[in-house]
A and B are shown apart, each in its own frame.
Chain A
Amino acid sequence: MNDHERAPLVSLTDAARYFGPVRALDGVTLSVAQGDCVGLVGHNGAGKSTLVNLVNGGLAPSSGTVGFATGGSALEAGVRSVFQELSLCPNLTVAENLRISHSALKGPNWRRPARAEIGQSLDTIFPGHGIDPNAEVDTLSIAERQMVEIAIGFAPRGSETRLVILDEPTSSLDAGIANQLLAHVSRFCASGGAVIFISHMLGEVFQVATRIVVLKDGKVVAERPVEDFTRQGLVDAMGHVTADTADATGTGRDFGTEVVRTDQGLTARKGEIVGLSGLAGHGQAAALARLYLSRSSAWRAGKAPEVVFVAGDRQRDGVLPLWSILRNISVSILPQGSRRGLVDREGEARVAQDWKTRIGIRTDDVANPILSLSGGNQQKVLFARALASSAPVVIMDDPMRGVDVGTKQDVYAMIRAEAARGRTFLWYSTETEEVCQCDRVFVFRNHEISAELTGSAITEEKILEASFEMQEAS
């Protein structure tokens, strides 16, 4: 440890930030020096995003100080952030998005250097990415957009990139791409840069971080070099005790009749949790969307829907951003709860209150706007919306993106309980840990089912094998 020899790029001294009565960050002291890769972990609402916003200059601290080594502002100090929710302009091209955060690109022919810079950054981080700098961002997949955002974060942009903050950068990336990123982070730190790495995937944090900072309720509860942490110790420090996942649960159960069968060969029986796995973008989401659309009418919402959908892309097809938490939950059950076409206000409030406690949405009042919640809690609201309806089949399109470990355990338990009561779940996930919760797993490759695994055969190795078979054959 030669921390003392290196000047910190950014140092926070007893920094705090309040939002009204809420102490989002309650006195944090932290410094990041060249060569550091700080892993920042904590459950949802622990203050990670607030800390990030203090470091990148998006927010001013309510008390305490945030100081940068060079220059006064975060921008001048070379601090760059890649945010959890995608923050590109979808109507612009990849190169034009670089221009937004790169004011040094001037002159009549700024496009050529912009294309070159973003292209080079992408090539360095994600060799073989296949992204055209002239492509408009809304023609790219969600993983490609995340790659572009990361590449913009690391691009020099006219000055030197010194500290890059990555907030859940791998949540929409598949394992191969995520590894390219982790390798780049290590290279970047070795060459004198610094990274603050936020992830719910603890494996990644262990792989890449030199130091881990654990946040809990706005305070730093542990800060140690990575060698001094064990996986279990880290989870304990975060305040959630993960029960070692009992993979065998449910495998011995009897399932009812088959309720889902598609042309592709995707089947599901009553009370079963069926997983869809494979590399991201190999047709899992499309298969689920097709299934959902074939089972629901575009013209009328019946009193008893056959299927409900839990969206993974919150911003695009999940949250109703202008509505309250209550309305966001109850929208799926309005036809059932209404009398003579009028909404049953009391029933609506009862259901919302019930699900708030059952699924643990962190808010004092369900009448608050949905955007007042953190990302993970917004996702809980979407779960509540789906589970509150009476539909026997629940389709989930990678719903755990950006959800913390503790919440995940809560949701797993709830899904298992609901399945035991006879509901069928179809669950696409990019995380193997989640897929292992399922009774049966279909692995997708190139828009086709390449393997069907059941019970104890559901292991990471088997899934990877089925996902990658093509590459071995060729």
Chain B
Amino acid sequence: MTFLARHRIILPVVSLAVLLAATFYMQPRAMSYFGLNLLFNLAVPIALATIAQMMIIMVNDIDLSLGAFVSLAACVTATFLNDAPMLGLLILLALILSYALLGAVIHALELPAIVVTLGMSFVWGGIALFILPSPGGAAPGWLRTLMTVKPPFAPMAVVAAVIIAAVTHLLIMRSGIGTVLRGVGGNARSVARAGWSVIRLKALAYGLAGLFGVLAGMALVGLATSADANIALRYTLLSIAGVILGGGEFTGGKVSPTGAVIGAFTLTLAASFLSFMRLSPDWQIGAQGAILILVLTARLIFRQKGSEA
């Protein structure tokens, strides 16, 4: 039993380790403070976006607007937050609240989240274009400093990953409210019967997703120093893949924050790995898909073995 419970996290860890070993084998110079940071710093916003997606998947929904939302948050960060910090902060706060509201509306009207979020992705995208019609803006100085900080021993990307994983693990896996939130994904009726307001819980889950989506946008601007309305569109699918790669399930409230962070890092590393292999960029997306299928197949085999035992 203890092994069964643990091995959901073992597979993502092994996948990352294998890929990392292969990368180091092909490009030994990556095995340094500087190399690791270069490999992984763009994984930090992806990891935050993956956590955001995980919040939604945790309550049995899926968010197809995350990429557009992160782009919008990035645009706001690069313009308003830089020029008028108070106004920028208020706008970001409003974005988070609108996400929470979205969750409440989806639950109250029993709308399919996949449709609502798909529609919302155009809304977010439109607003982002409105704010920043052409690529530009600038990262606030403090954000730039934060994202390029050089902590001792381990590069920023690794430290950030550990912090993100630890905080979200405490929040989702260990805390009481996190447990109830996962319960919503497992059996919303039983949670409602125990006296909880499911609509509030869903709003909370979506609000947390909004929060991490905004953080992802800010982190991205801190690294890229400027923004663009389409800067993070591919995050939608990357974040879903990251959650699943990290041992999460689409339904049933089975998620793992640590796994999600590892999944995001694995996906980022896979892209670099394929570049090191000198694979033509035309093939890279296909090859990334192949890696994903490989990992999921391994997981399926693991699970079947587990249920036989």
Residue-wise, chain B 1-12 has the 8 Å CB interface mask toward A (1 for contact) of: 100110000000
Cα-based distance from A99 to B180 in the complex (angstroms): 8
Contact assessment for B1 and A92 in the assembled complex, using a CB-CB cutoff below 8 Å? no
The segment from B98-106, B151-159, B185-193, B260-268 found at the interface with A is: B185-193
In the complex, which residues 1-48 of chain B have their Cβ closer than 8 Å to any Cβ of chain A? 1, 4-5
Cα-based distance from A89 to B188 in the complex (angstroms): 8
A100 in contact (CB, < 8 A): yes
Contact assessment for B176 and A89 in the assembled complex, using a CB-CB cutoff below 8 Å? no
| Interface residue total, chain A, C-beta cutoff 8 A | 26
Cα-based distance from A17 to B183 in the complex (angstroms): 30
B194 in contact (CB, < 8 A): yes
Contact assessment for A101 and B254 in the assembled complex, using a CB-CB cutoff below 8 Å? no
Cα-based distance from A91 to B179 in the complex (angstroms): 10
Contact assessment for B195 and A99 in the assembled complex, using a CB-CB cutoff below 8 Å? no
Cα-based distance from A241 to B176 in the complex (angstroms): 51
Contact assessment for B252 and A91 in the assembled complex, using a CB-CB cutoff below 8 Å? yes
Known: A100-B179, A100-B180, A105-B176. A91 touches B4 (CB 8 A): no
B202 in contact (CB, < 8 A): no
Complex interface: chain B residues within 8 A of A448 (CB): none
Complex interface: chain A residues within 8 A of B176 (CB): 99, 103, 105-106, 110
Complex interface: chain A residues within 8 A of B193 (CB): 58, 81, 83, 87, 101
Contact assessment for B187 and A87 in the assembled complex, using a CB-CB cutoff below 8 Å? yes
Q: Size band of the B side of the interface?
A: 20 to 34
B140 in contact (CB, < 8 A): no
Shortest Cβ distance from B255 into A: residue: A91
In the complex, which residues 254-279 of chain A have their Cβ closer than 8 Å to any Cβ of chain B? none
In the complex, which residues 161-207 of chain B have their Cβ closer than 8 Å to any Cβ of chain A? 174, 176, 179-180, 182-183, 185-187, 189-191, 193-196
Contact assessment for B1 and A139 in the assembled complex, using a CB-CB cutoff below 8 Å? yes
Cα-based distance from A90 to B179 in the complex (angstroms): 12
Q: How far apart are A103's CB and chain B's nearest CB, in angstroms? A: 8
Residue-wise, chain A 76-109 has the 8 Å CB interface mask toward B (1 for contact) of: 0000010100011111100011011101011010
A75 in contact (CB, < 8 A): yes
Contact assessment for B195 and A89 in the assembled complex, using a CB-CB cutoff below 8 Å? no
Complex interface: chain A residues within 8 A of B5 (CB): 134, 136
B179's contact among A83, A88, A99, by CB below 8 Å, is which?
A: A99
Complex interface: chain B residues within 8 A of A89 (CB): 182-183, 185-187, 190-191, 253
B187's contact among A90, A105, A134, by CB below 8 Å, is which?
A: A90
Complex interface: chain B residues within 8 A of A92 (CB): 179, 182-183, 186, 253
Complex interface: chain A residues within 8 A of B190 (CB): 87-89, 100
Q: How far apart are A386's CB and chain B's nearest CB, in angstroms? A: 26
Contact assessment for B1 and A132 in the assembled complex, using a CB-CB cutoff below 8 Å? yes
Interface of A is mostly: loop
Cα-based distance from A134 to B253 in the complex (angstroms): 17
Interface of B is mostly: helix
Shortest Cβ distance from A96 into B: residue: B179
Q: How far apart are A414's CB and chain B's nearest CB, in angstroms? A: 32
A91's contact among B180, B182, B194, by CB below 8 Å, is which?
A: B182
Cα-based distance from A106 to B191 in the complex (angstroms): 17
Q: How far apart are A139's CB and chain B's nearest CB, in angstroms? A: 7
A304 in contact (CB, < 8 A): no
Complex interface: chain B residues within 8 A of A183 (CB): none
Complex interface: chain B residues within 8 A of A83 (CB): 193
Known: A101-B194, A101-B195. A90 touches B252 (CB 8 A): yes
Q: How far apart are B147's CB and chain A's nearest CB, in angstroms? A: 30
A301 in contact (CB, < 8 A): no
Complex interface: chain A residues within 8 A of B189 (CB): 87
B183's contact among A100, A103, A110, by CB below 8 Å, is which?
A: A100
A135 in contact (CB, < 8 A): yes
Residue-wise, chain B 249-280 has the 8 Å CB interface mask toward A (1 for contact) of: 00011100000000000000000000000000
Complex interface: chain B residues within 8 A of A101 (CB): 193-195
Q: How far apart are A90's CB and chain B's nearest CB, in angstroms? A: 5
Contact assessment for A90 and B186 in the assembled complex, using a CB-CB cutoff below 8 Å? yes
Shortest Cβ distance from A136 into B: residue: B5
Complex interface: chain B residues within 8 A of A99 (CB): 176, 179-180
Cα-based distance from A92 to B187 in the complex (angstroms): 10
Shortest Cβ distance from A109 into B: residue: B174
Complex interface: chain B residues within 8 A of A108 (CB): 174
Shortest Cβ distance from B189 into A: residue: A87
Shortest Cβ distance from A95 into B: residue: B179
Cα-based distance from A134 to B190 in the complex (angstroms): 19
Contact assessment for A100 and B4 in the assembled complex, using a CB-CB cutoff below 8 Å? no
Contact assessment for A100 and B191 in the assembled complex, using a CB-CB cutoff below 8 Å? yes
Known: A75-B195, A135-B1, A136-B5. A88 touches B187 (CB 8 A): yes
Cα-based distance from A136 to B252 in the complex (angstroms): 12
Q: How far apart are A87's CB and chain B's nearest CB, in angstroms? A: 4
Contact assessment for B1 and A91 in the assembled complex, using a CB-CB cutoff below 8 Å? no
* Complex A-B, nearest 9 residue pairs according to Cβ-Cβ distance, in ascending order: A89-B186, A101-B194, A87-B190, A91-B186, A89-B183, A91-B253, A89-B187, A91-B254, A100-B183
9 additional contacts, CB 8 Å, given A91-B186, A100-B194? A75-B195, A81-B193, A88-B190, A89-B187, A90-B187, A92-B186, A99-B180, A106-B176, A139-B1
Some 19 contacts from A to B, beta carbons below 8 A apart, are A88-B186, A88-B187, A89-B183, A89-B185, A90-B186, A91-B185, A91-B254, A92-B182, A92-B183, A92-B186, A97-B183, A100-B179, A100-B190, A100-B191, A101-B193, A101-B194, A103-B176, A105-B176, A139-B1
